[in-house]
Amino acid sequence: MTIVAGVDIGNSTTEVCLARCAHGRPAEFLASGITKTTGIKGTVANLPGILTALGAALRTAGLETADLGEIRINEATPVIGDLAMETITETIITESTMIGHNPSTPGGIGLGVGVTQPFDRLGVIGRGEKVICVIPQGIDYEDAAREINGAVARGVDVQGAVARQDDAVLIANRLTRKVPVIDEVTLIDKVPLGMQAAVEVAEQGQSVRTLSNPYGIATVFGLAADETKLVVPIARALIGNRSAVVVRTPQGDVKARSIPAGVVTVSGIRGKADIDVDAGAARIMEVVERVQPVEDVKGEAGTNVGGMLERVRQVMADLTGQAPGEMKIQDVLGVDTFIPQKVRGGLAGEFALENAVALAAMVKTNRLPMTQIADQLAAKLGTGVVIAGVEAYMAVGGAMTTPGTAKPLAILDMGGGSTDAAIVTRDDKISAIHLAGAGDMVTMLINSELGLGDPDLAENIKKYPLAKVESLFHMRLEDGTVRFFAESLPPEVFARVVILAEGGLTPIPGDYPLDKIRYVRREAKKKVFVANALRALARVAPTGNIRHIDFVVLVGGSALDFEIADMVTDALAEYGIVCGRGNIRGTEGPRNAVATGLVLSYLNGGEA
């Protein structure tokens, strides 16, 4: 009897299956181990994680390292996900052209149009002049309201006000003439004076209509068609805001420039094709599918996409000790997304959502890095280490230990960096595919689209459901149900959207409503997991037709997600496919499929 350890090095986790094996007899499974993968998958930096997971499994089984007869590791293909570009077209606003940071409590309602004038000049402004009053730091709200009321009484047409302090409601409540008032403008000193401006405040629960519409801005300021084109990014940045100010600056202060996204060149067995990233992710993926299997992907030099793909090659070259020219990208997944871009020249941290394309790239290295891992692991433990096989092949063997399964069978292994699919026929023929894009890309999309700047927070948003804390004793879950508490909740979560994480409630910063966060999370999962599931199964289906697959078992860490498996199952139900989460060895759920398959490959003479 030999103690065999199967070690699956994944992008997110490293998993171990420990079993007592003898040829001609079923494996006696002893224990499992799991830990976070150290370093980028497929590099020698994985060793600490392997040793940790292996040590945990040995302790559970009551064994020592010396008891190990053989360690079998998978052929790990590194996958690096990155944004191919910051934006497809970046529009830069110079000088002070707009304010629209959506303060929580603006005052008044309506649209006011006039010339920006400083607060201290209200007393000398002539009768009938249309004015937007700019109230600086340090002016008391009662003094501000008194001066505005006095100007109105003298015949000055005060159309609205912009304030530095959080006083909009207090000022508006004291005005004899109700006008829109916006506060919390951080850079009040940079508001251009003597310029035509428009101030708009919407009813509670609504958003501005005129200033979020480029034609509305054009109407207010009398813009020509060419000038209207320049205000499009301003209007887009104000969509969804309850309040906004737009200031028309002198000609030449508003400039726009486009940064080229670049051209992607995809080379494959069926040919070679160029596609401009401006065309979007759908066109990129059409080209990838047309020329697949992909042999390499390159980006145009001097462009955003070219820089991203070369950075991926360089990172892998540095980690593996190979020349960058030897790094081949064997698959990419493109997804259309949005990125909040700071509007330069804004006065209160304004952002505009810009179109972008996210790319996950799979780098194909030679066998050298895995050989290095095997050699160093063997030297450390004094045990034979074998590079046993491709992940998807091994995952089939592990998935077959799920109760109720039989050949023919397809598996979807959804991990952190890649989505693998394989199908085994009744006569044990296996075909497999290894595609870029999985959980890490979903996290990246959530992080970028919500502008979080915190990958750990984005990861938790991906993994757990949401709720809105409506009082210190109850919250409304994202499915609409209400949960009550006998003891009061922490005050810092009151009126906040929170993540229902295992360790407690995690408040999400910012003002995004629950429905918006949920929508971004679910769309990111659909764009990556559902799209890749259909793409992968079409590649391995015997005739290229998904409808000819009867059973699919979902394995991998992402299959544990509270909604991904249901999304994929729903998508495959349209094709008449029976699909569900695996339960490896009847005990492990969808995890440990590859590690278990590696152990079984020992009994099968190296084949899953």
3-state secondary structure 494-557: CCCEEEEECCEEEECCCCCCHHHHHHHHHHHHHHHHHHHHHHHHHHHCCCCCHHHCCEEEEECH
Token pair for residue 414? 């959804």
Query: First vs last Cα of the chain: how many Å apart?
Result: 20
Q: What is the pLDDT of residues 523-574, one digit of tens each?
A: 999 999 999 999 999 999 987 888 888 889 999 888 999 999 999 999 999 9
* Confidence label for 346 from pLDDT (cuts 50, 70 and 90): low
CA–CA distance, 204 with 107 (Å, rounded to integer):
10
The CA R_g of the chain, rounded to the nearest whole Å, is 30
User: Which residues on adjacent β-strands are paired with residue 418?
Assistant: 436
Highest mean pLDDT among 89-93, 230-234, 501-505: 501-505
Q: Is 543 exposed, middle or buried (0-12, 13-18, 19+ CB in 10 A)?
A: exposed
Per-residue pLDDT, 35: 96
Tell me which residue of 248, 186, 181, 254 sits closest to 217, measured CA to CA.
248
Q: What is the pLDDT of residues 82-125, one digit of tens each?
A: 544 444 333 333 333 445 456 778 899 999 999 999 999 998 99
Q: What is the pLDDT of residues 237-271, one digit of tens each?
A: 777 788 888 887 765 444 444 556 788 899 999 99
DSSP string, 24-40: TS--EEEEEEEEEPPSS
Highest mean pLDDT among 160-169, 224-233, 321-330: 160-169
Instruction: Please check whether residue 557 is in contact with residue 439, taking contact to mean a CB–CB distance below 8 angstroms.
Output: yes
CA–CA distance, 265 with 297 (Å, rounded to integer):
6
- Report the amino acid identity of residue 306: G
Per-residue pLDDT, 325: 77
Instruction: Please check whether residue 602 is in contact with residue 21, taking contact to mean a CB–CB distance below 8 angstroms.
Output: yes
What is the pTM assigned to this prediction?
0.75
1-76+367-400+588-608 matches 82-89+258-364 in fold: no
Averaged pLDDT for residues 153-163: 94
Token pair for residue 397? 């063997």
What is the percent of the chain where pLDDT is above 70? Answer: 90
399 pLDDT exceeds 70?
yes
38-47, 236-245, 358-367, 461-470, range with the lowest pLDDT: 358-367
- Report the amino acid identity of residue 214: P
- Given strand 351-364, what is the order of strands in its sheet? 79-83, 351-364, 328-342
Q: Hey, where are the domains in the chain? A: 1-76+367-400+588-608, 82-89+258-364, 98-247, 404-464+513-582
Instruction: Please check whether residue 374 is in contact with residue 387, taking contact to mean a CB–CB distance below 8 angstroms.
Output: yes
Cα 115 to chain centroid distance, Å, stands at 42
Averaged pLDDT for residues 298-319: 80
Q: Is the dihedral of CA 356, 302, 441, 458 positive or negative?
A: negative
For residue 333, the SS3 value is strand
Token pair for residue 345? 């020249």
CATH classification number, 98-247, choose in 3.30.310.220, 3.50.30.70, 3.40.50.1370, 3.40.50.1820: 3.50.30.70
342: left (phi over 0), alpha (psi -120 to 50) or beta: beta
Tell me which residue of 56, 58, 2, 67 sits closest to 30, measured CA to CA.
58
Considering only the top CATH level, what class is 1-76+367-400+588-608?
alpha beta
Q: What is the pLDDT of residues 35-53, one digit of tens each?
A: 999 988 878 889 999 999 9
CATH topology of domain 404-464+513-582: Nucleotidyltransferase; domain 5 (3.30.420)
CA–CA distance, 107 with 205 (Å, rounded to integer):
14
Q: What homologous superfamily is domain 82-89+258-364 in, according to CATH?
A: Coenzyme B12-Dependent Enzyme linker domain (3.90.470.30)
CA–CA distance, 394 with 392 (Å, rounded to integer):
5
Averaged pLDDT for residues 360-370: 74
* Confidence label for 310 from pLDDT (cuts 50, 70 and 90): confident
* Confidence label for 8 from pLDDT (cuts 50, 70 and 90): very high
Q: What is the pLDDT of residues 413-449, one digit of tens each?
A: 888 888 889 999 888 888 888 888 888 899 989 998 8
Per-residue pLDDT, 96: 36
